[in-house]
């Protein structure tokens, strides 16, 4: 019986970010990418999420290795958190290796000999898979599609890509290599769906550079530009535009500085003009400042958020200064970014986004580019990934329109048999999300986040009770309700609520009043009824019970009377 060729996404399908894709042949697995995603407001207190690795951990002895297509956070950002659980070899290009080593060392992890650098077009073997990178243009150097060869068929995993005719940093997409791959039989193409809803092509970084030159030259005061730290060519364009306008360039934000270090280590941006020291930012005349800062997605601890709040130690903005957002809003970040825009505008600062001026091109293919890739590769099967549900469905329709025999709409955890035919979802594997909370990882389904959401949306009522050994109240219940109702209304209701709580406790029978759980539930019911809130408002009611035995009670009574405390 022929060995099965399988595919399953652990993240990255039905969402943009958190990319983690498994390919299986026989009893071995190959993992392609291991990235983070941005948390939304359903996870209060959390910035990033990771794919749950439990299936990988269960199959750890069968995991041949991890291949990273490029150095974006949503493709390798989870490695420092999850790779120590897997311990497998990692293959990537030189630039991705330079970025990854820094990230691992920052978290106290030494990769040793685990990271193996490979060049595009060079074949390397990972378990039963013969692998080859084919260079594609993207918004970061050394992005790659991945060609996988097995006895059951050849696959192309596109990674993130576009067709930029003038990428400015690195070569254009390897058209010859892709066409050559398509001349042989490609069983399946697993491909980027981000911009499938956008007609035409994604545009060129060279055009953005020309536009930034014009825009920055026209600004009268300080210019701050924010973009992804990994978009090195955009950073270079902003720096060159600033210098051309007579400004001194500064980089503000650790992730940007670390990315520049990694780029220079492997030979990129060697001719970049010298950067100023942050300590000089406020000493220069306003029209001489060109600052690149982190925070294009409104990240809570980014440099731009601190600048907007007036809390950055090196850079302050004044009315008439300009902030340029040279990045697209990642779905889910709209509210945070609009709040940041408004915060800046309210201070008299000019805010420029892609809606106002040509300051950004996407790193992902629009429909014309997708159609071109399908003409080159001619896969028998298409599996859209890297997109939300609407993107995936549109990609399926496009693939069918272009003559692809089978186009499968799958989700995270769907186990797809690619060969032998027919291709089909044949099972499920466990998937989920882990939140990076403080220094630990917590399942997003944990009670911790349900409690946080409830607190954020409904507030909390705290009730303190003091009971004796028989369950009788020894003092009037203490009550606080932050975030539930306004303080003035609580003051009017306080006596009534305290009376209702006391009556609820006293109504319990002799056995129930000695059970903390029974007392807590009686108090919760009394509080909710007494507050008379709308049915959809259910504050968290916390009940603290202190029970005093006879000896402790006697000591307290003696202390109050000034007698011996025994």
For 105-136, the pLDDT digits (tens) are 988 898 889 999 999 999 999 999 999 999 99
- Structure letter (DSSP) for residue 484: T
Residue keyed to tokens 């896969």: 379
Angle between helices 389-401 and 367-377 (to 10 degrees): 50
pLDDT at residue number 265: 94
Quote the Cα angle for 488-493-499, to 5°: 150
Run of H or E including 144: strand 143-150
Regions of the chain with pLDDT less than 70 = 1-2, 40-46, 438-439, 444, 446-457, 536, 553-554, 556-566
Say which residues have a Cβ less than 8 Å from residue 221's Cβ, sequence separation at least 6: 286, 287, 318, 320, 321, 322
- For 110, the token pair is 């030494």
pLDDT at residue number 444: 67
Cα 178 to Cα 150: distance, rounded to the nearest angstrom: 18
Quote the Cα angle for 184-190-195, to 5°: 120
Dump pLDDT digits (tens) for 341-355. Answer: 999 999 999 999 999
pLDDT at residue number 1: 44
Run of H or E including 288: none
204, 231, 351 from 326: Cα distances, Å: 14, 10, 11
| Residue 287 burial by Cβ neighbours in a 10 Å radius (0-12, 13-18, 19+) | middle
Q: For the chain, how many helices (H) and strands (E)?
A: 16, 27
Residue keyed to tokens 């049915």: 535
Cα 245 to Cα 239: distance, rounded to the nearest angstrom: 10
pLDDT at residue number 442: 74
Domains, the chain: 5-200+362-440 (3.60.15.10), 205-352 (3.40.50.10710), 447-561 (3.10.20.580)
433-437 sheet: strands from edge to edge: 37-38, 48-51, 433-437, 440-443
236, 262, 432, 520 from 383: Cα distances, Å: 35, 33, 20, 53
Cα 283 to Cα 247: distance, rounded to the nearest angstrom: 13
pLDDT at residue number 565: 42
């Amino acid at each position: 019986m022929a060995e099965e060729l399988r595919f399953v996404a652990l993240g990255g399908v039905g969402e943009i970010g958190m990319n983690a894709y498994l390919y299986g042949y026989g009893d071995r697995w190959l993992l392609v990418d291991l990235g983070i995603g941005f948390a939304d407001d359903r996870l209060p207190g959390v910035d990033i999420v990771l794919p749950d690795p439990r299936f990988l951990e269960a199959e750890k002895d069968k995991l041949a290795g991890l291949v990273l297509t490029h150095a974006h956070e949503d493709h390798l950002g989870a490695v420092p958190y999850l790779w120590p659980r897997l311990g497998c070899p990692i293959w990537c290009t030189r630039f991705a290796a330079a970025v990854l080593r820094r990230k691992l060392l920052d978290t106290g992890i030494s990769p040793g000999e685990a990271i193996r650098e490979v060049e595009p077009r060079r074949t390397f073997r990972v378990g039963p898979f013969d692998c080859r990178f084919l260079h594609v243009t993207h918004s970061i150097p050394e992005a790659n599609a991945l060609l996988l060869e097995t006895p059951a068929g050849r696959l192309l995993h596109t990674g993130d890509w576009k067709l930029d005719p003038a990428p400015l940093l690195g070569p254009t997409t390897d058209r010859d290599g892709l066409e050559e791959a398509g001349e042989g039989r490609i069983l399946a193409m697993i491909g980027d769906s981000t911009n499938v809803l956008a007609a035409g092509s994604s545009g060129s970084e060279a055009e953005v550079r020309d536009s930034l030159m014009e825009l920055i030259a026209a600004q009268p005061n300080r210019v701050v530009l924010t973009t992804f730290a990994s978009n090195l060519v955009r950073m270079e364009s902003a720096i060159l535009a600033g210098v051309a306008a007579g400004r001194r360039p500064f980089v503000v934000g650790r992730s940007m500085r670390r990315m520049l270090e990694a780029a220079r280590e492997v030979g990129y941006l060697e001719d970049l003009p010298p950067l100023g020291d942050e300590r000089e930012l406020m000493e220069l005349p306003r029209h001489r400042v060109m600052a690149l800062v982190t925070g294009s997605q409104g990240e809570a601890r980014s440099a731009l958020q601190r600048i907007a709040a007036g809390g950055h130690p090196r850079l302050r903005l004044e009315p008439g200064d300009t902030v340029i957002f040279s990045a697209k809003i990642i779905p889910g970040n709209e509210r945070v970014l609009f709040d940041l825009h408004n915060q800046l505008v309210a201070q008299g600062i000019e805010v420029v986004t892609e809606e106002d001026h040509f300051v950004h091109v996407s790193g992902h293919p629009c429909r014309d580019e997708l159609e071109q890739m399908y003409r080159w590769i001619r896969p028998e099967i298409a599996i859209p990934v890297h997109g939300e549900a609407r993107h995936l469905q549109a990609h399926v329709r496009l693939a069918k329109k272009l003559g692809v025999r089978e186009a499968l709409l799958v989700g995270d955890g769907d186990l797809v048999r690619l060969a032998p035919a027919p291709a089909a979802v044949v099972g499920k594997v466990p998937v989920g999300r882990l939140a990076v909370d403080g220094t630990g990882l917590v399942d997003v389904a944990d009670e911790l986040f349900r409690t946080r959401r409830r607190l954020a949306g409904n507030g909390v009522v705290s009730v303190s009770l003091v009971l004796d050994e028989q369950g009788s109240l020894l003092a009037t219940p203490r009550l606080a309700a932050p975030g539930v109702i306004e303080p003035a209304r609580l003051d009017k209701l306080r006596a009534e609520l305290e009376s209702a709580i006391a009556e609820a406790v006293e109504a319990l029978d002799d056995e129930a009043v000695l059970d903390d759980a029974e007392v807590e539930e009686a108090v919760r019911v009394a509080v909710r009824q007494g507050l008379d809130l709308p049915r959809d408002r259910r504050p968290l009611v916390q009940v603290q019970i202190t029970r005093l035995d006879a000896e402790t009670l006697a000591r307290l009574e003696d202390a109050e009377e000034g007698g011996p405390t025994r």
